[in-house]
Structure 1
Amino acid sequence: MPEQHSPVPAPETFAQRARRARDHAGLSRPVAGGLVGRSAEWVKGIENGTIGMPRLPMLIRLATVYECDVADLTGDDRIAAATYTKAAHTELPAIKRALTTYYLAPANTEPEPAIVLTARVQQAWKLWHGKGDHRSRVAALLPDLLADTQHSARALEGADRRRALVALGQTYHLAQLFLSFQPAPDLIMLTGDRSMTAAQDADSPRAMAGAAWYMNHVYRDANEAAEARVELAEQAAALLRQDDPEDLARWGLLQLAVALSFAKVGKAGDAWRYWDRANDAANRLGEGYAHPWLIFGQGVVDAYALTMHNDLMQPGKALEVAGALDLGKVPSATRRSYHLIETARAYGMKDEGVAAVALLEKAFRESPETIRYNMYTRMVLPELAKTGPRMVRADAQALALELGIPT
């Protein structure tokens, strides 16, 4: 009797790989479509094979949203999404060394006073939020600041030690922000975990709230379950007093964190319920209020409504928000640039490339390093440079060249 052989399984199609990647990311078709600037029907067409494999820029966009490599979609393991979407800052190796070096200073080394460390951290925040190349300026300070805050947090005692730990937590926040949009996901998680540990060791509810805000960004970018993000934010918010402006700003920020988390997964009702809470906190703090380094205030609450509409696939409503937005209320060049990029994303979702390129150019003038390392910018500019409206292709190519993005 001839030997029986199992039939060789048919190779997996692009449509099947795309469906599996979306399922693994936990995204519905409407949410996935909105995140890449397409409709739910387009995603369905990709997954049932009626729409063929898209061009490389869209493949990269899908891979970024699904948190996978382009190879997971195409079956060609020679292509990796990070190669195209994440540009490494020249100071990334130095920051990595600073984060993975343990400063075991001898006992006779005098620790820097907590009040001095706090002032240094405040100055670093001003550089981060100021105009110009904010990443490069902060990168020049971070190695020494990490070494000094770690040493003081270990050597000081009592209230001074707790203040040093708060400064250390904020230093990790700055490192985490530097690492955002860098090809170093392990370091981003490391800094988030260390900042929360420092905040807990300091026994500071305010520091824990700040750490929870930044950890929420980590979880959202990693497509972690919304429930985990919400639980962390609500636990931290419960530690704060709403009759104290400093606490209220952090409480409002955590409501905003939850709102953004729900919008990311398409839960509009929950998203706007928490946004209303953040908006109420901003109103109670007053029209001109903005936290000095968390930047929470009415301007930021209004501006993040734009991001929420984008994530909920409502570009028309996003542009209504953008039309009424006063970015002068946001005292941070990096945040203003980000919100301009989000406005460009809304125009891109409506296939209005002329407006999208104009806003990306404006975002570049506001904060060059914000747009240079932004994922949406790096995905959309090559596409606009090649297939956008004829009148903006040259502008898109010029901006991509300025940013070092291959087209």
Structure 2
Amino acid sequence: MRKADFGARLRSHRERAGKTRTVLGGLVGRSEEWVKAVENGRILQPRLPMLLRLAEVLGVTDLAELTGSGSMPVAALTKAASVPGDRVVAVMTSHARPSARTEPDVDRFLGRVDQAWQLWHTAPAGKAAIAAVLPDLLVEARATVAHLDGTARRRAGTGVARTYHLAQQLFAFSPHPEMVWLSADRAMAAAQDSDDPAAIAAAAWYYAHVYRSSGQLGMAHDVVVDATAELDPHSGEAEQLARWGKLQLAAARTHSKAGEEGLAWQCWDRAKRAADALPAGYMHPWLMFGAAEVAATAVGMEADLFHPGRAIRRSATLDLGGLPAHRRAAAYIDIARAYQLTGDPVGLVHMIGKALRENLDVTEREPFVRQALLDLVDNGGPVRDDARELALVVGLLR
């Protein structure tokens, strides 16, 4: 078998696993024709997220068995530091009927949700912090909506959706990918039950992120378009305009991931106009929509569209001071992607280091970071030692 023949390797592992093309395609969210095209070499080797999905479904423990490149253990790329979410998993998968110990208090519940989001944005170890509060908050969320009706139930439903958004943040890039989907689905259901277009818009933004991460760009686009239609950006309400702008960013990033440059920048332009129309210095309290978020998203889009020089030039004028640490880390990771595309290992290592200093919690679980560091440890030349130090930090090496 030729080393470069990814399709042949994929076919061999599929047949060894006893799966038809139809079954394999369904398990990774693709069609039988897509699998056939990859195996026949008509479609290039997929990117890392899809490679990891294929490896998981086929029982492949080292991506080298599929790619033919240097060893890349699947566990090292997908199961970073353990996520302290076992209690959250237990609550989310429990079917026990919720019982309210006291009379449901919607204002108290919504206040607790606000506090949990503040914790996520400010705690040095945000995932551990929200993992500690989410179990009780999820129990309260269920009990609150179960014992209310009418307007009070709909108000509480917006808080339930936001609680599941936090769960989605907790499980992102964790050993529990199924919990990300469950969180997104329950958040959308709660938002729809609340009959609140603003809540539905936020749920759509989070659902779109899950679809994009799994390569289902068409679904990401559809969920955003449906939610956008429910909002009026000309209502004069900052809240509604911010959520509309956030959805425009979601659409922009979906198009940039698909290589649809014109559509991507059209959506980004709409998001920028929305941010410019908001009060000076405005930042949505938990969706983080504002001018800084719009500017940071543009850097990631340039990297998606393979314009690394433009991404790096845009990054030179970024002001990330108003964003929480986890979002600053994400911005530095996008800049690192740009440096990788230019073939600049020094810039790549430097930006990964900055991301880690901003937020270890998020950066150490990012698949791009883990793959890039493994590559640099093997082939990093003068930055190999620096990459090794960072790889130790994120738990890739012992």
**TM-score scaled to structure 1, two decimals?**
0.82
Distance 2:313 2:3 in 1: 43
Deviation at 1:282, TM superposition (A): 0.5
- Stretches of 4+ aligned residues off by more than 3 angstroms: 10-13, 17-21, 24-27, 70-73, 79-82
Structure 2 CA distance for partners of 1:83 and 1:327, relative to 1, 3 Å: same
CA contact (8 A) 1:17 1:73 kept: no
Deviation at 1:65, TM superposition (A): 4.3
CA deviation profile, 1:80-103 (whole Å, cap 9, x unmatched): 964221125241322211210134
- 1:313 maps onto 2:277 in alignment: no
Distance 1:334 1:96 in 2: 23
Structure 2 CA distance for partners of 1:320 and 1:26, relative to 1, 3 Å: farther
CA contact (8 A) 2:252 2:265 kept: yes
Deviation at 1:389, TM superposition (A): 3.3
* Aligned positions, number: 363
- 1:68 maps onto 2:59 in alignment: no
Residue of structure 2 in register with 1:7 after alignment: none
CA deviation profile, 1:33-74 (whole Å, cap 9, x unmatched): xxxxxxxxxxx9xx69xxxxxxxxxx9x94434442184873
Indicate the SS of the match to 1:217. helix
Larger Rg: 1
Distance 2:387 2:283 in 1: 34
Give the alignment's Cα RMSD to 1 decimal. Answer: 2.9
Structure 2 CA distance for partners of 1:235 and 1:350, relative to 1, 3 Å: same
Residue of structure 2 in register with 1:183 after alignment: 175
Distance 2:159 2:131 in 1: 17
Distance 2:4 2:359 in 1: 42
Distance 1:26 1:109 in 2: 42
Unaligned runs of 5+ residues in structure 1 are: 1-9, 28-43, 49-58
CA deviation profile, 1:273-307 (whole Å, cap 9, x unmatched): 11111111001013411100000001001101111
- Identify the match of residue 340 of structure 1 among 332, 339, 344: 332
Structure 2 CA distance for partners of 1:227 and 1:105, relative to 1, 3 Å: closer
**TM-score scaled to structure 2, two decimals?**
0.84
Distance 1:222 1:81 in 2: 20
CA deviation profile, 1:309-328 (whole Å, cap 9, x unmatched): 11111111110111111111
1:68-217 mapped onto 2 (5 Å cutoff): 68-69=54-55, 71=60, 74=65, 82-87=74-79, 89-106=82-99, 109-217=101-209
Distance 1:254 1:213 in 2: 6
- 1:286 maps onto 2:279 in alignment: yes
Identity within the alignment, % = 35
Distance 2:259 2:9 in 1: 20
- 1:254 maps onto 2:225 in alignment: no
CA deviation profile, 1:95-129 (whole Å, cap 9, x unmatched): 211210134244x7324411111111111111111
CA deviation profile, 1:13-37 (whole Å, cap 9, x unmatched): 734347989xx7899xxxxxxxxxx
Query: Using CA pairs below 8 Å that are at least 6 residues apart, which structure has the higher relative contact order?
Result: 1
